[in-house]
């Protein structure tokens, strides 16, 4: 323990699933973490749960990433609590899986606003502290759906394809500002995000927490800019 001592991270969507696993892994290794949920009560509850195992390391705040004012308040709260931060994990996201014949404009729009514009807004709000930090990271949680289309993914694919392109452009913009930018692209993960969460063959959220720890351990001259993670043995057929 202690490999991340001195690190401070924001993890959006950190109250469940992948985000919670990343927050827990980072806290276990000595980082301080500000996690978010759209619900203040949920954010505080999960932060208290994780902080009980690692006292003084985890706090929670409500943030709807579609709201720029909320994103700016998140950054201000993190700076106030910890003095700054050097890791941003953009994990907040949602999926509505319907064919184009059925999906509504609002259902399409909320995915783009959360999964793509939300990442832009949190990142934009966070740039000042990240640039001021030493050896900062932005980790955007995408999906294999960032480059593989599927039926009923018209809104989700659009948002995740866009996230991949935006992340790689951000990487080029920020590399000389002392910020390494990467996209984590998991396949099937055993979380409630899926219609079928009980899938022991799938990637476990904790596996992705470990992936982030490994990423943060790389020396300063090295960047894994795109990380694809798949189940090793999904069902045949």
Sign (positive or negative) of CA dihedral 48, 30, 232, 114: positive
**Quick one: which of 56, 34, 15 has its CA closest to 192?**
15
| pLDDT given at position 24 | 98
Alpha-carbon gap, residue 85 to 203, rounded angstroms: 29
The domain segmentation of the chain, as residue ranges, is 8-229
User: 8-229 is classed in which CATH architecture?
Assistant: 3-Layer(aba) Sandwich (3.40)
Alpha-carbon gap, residue 15 to 13, rounded angstroms: 6
Give the up-direction half-sphere exposure of residue 210: CA atoms within 13 A in the CB hemisphere: 6
* 108 catalytic residue (yes or no): no
Q: pLDDT by residue for the chain (237 residues), tens digit each?
A: 469 999 999 999 999 999 999 999 999 999 999 999 999 999 999 999 999 999 999 999 999 999 999 999 999 999 999 999 999 999 999 999 999 999 999 999 999 999 999 999 999 999 999 999 989 999 999 999 999 999 999 999 999 999 999 999 999 999 999 999 999 999 999 987 655 667 889 999 999 999 999 999 999 999 999 999 999 999 987
| pLDDT given at position 61 | 98
Instruction: Collect all residues with Cβ–Cβ distance below 8 Å to 68 and sequence separation of at least 6.
Output: 121, 124, 125
What the block records as the tokens of 26 is 């980072």
């Amino acid at each position: 323990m202690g490999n991340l001592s001195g690190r401070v991270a924001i993890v959006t969507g950190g109250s469940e699933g992948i985000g919670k696993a990343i927050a827990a892994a980072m806290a276990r290794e000595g980082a301080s973490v500000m996690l978010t949920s759209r619900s203040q009560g949920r954010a505080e509850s999960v932060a208290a749960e994780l902080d009980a195992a690692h006292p003084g390391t985890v706090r929670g705040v409500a943030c709807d990433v579609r709201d720029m004012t909320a994103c700016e308040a998140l950054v201000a709260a993190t700076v106030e609590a910890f003095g700054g931060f050097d890791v941003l994990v953009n994990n907040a996201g949602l999926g509505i899986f319907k064919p184009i014949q059925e999906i509504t404009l609002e259902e399409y729009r909320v995915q783009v606003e959360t999964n793509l514009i939300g990442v832009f807004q949190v990142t934009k709000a966070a740039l000042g502290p990240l640039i001021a930090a030493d050896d900062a990271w932005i980790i955007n949680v995408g999906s294999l759906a960032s480059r593989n289309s599927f039926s009923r993914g018209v809104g989700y694919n659009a948002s995740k394809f866009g996230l991949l392109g935006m992340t790689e452009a951000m990487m080029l913009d920020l590399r000389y500002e002392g910020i390494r930018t990467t996209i984590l692209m998991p396949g099937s993960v055993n979380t409630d995000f899926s219609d079928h969460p009980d899938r022991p063959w799938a990637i476990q959220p904790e596996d992705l927490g470990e992936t982030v720890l490994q990423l943060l351990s790389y020396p300063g001259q090295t960047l894994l800019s795109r990380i694809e993670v798949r189940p090793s043995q999904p069902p045949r057929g």
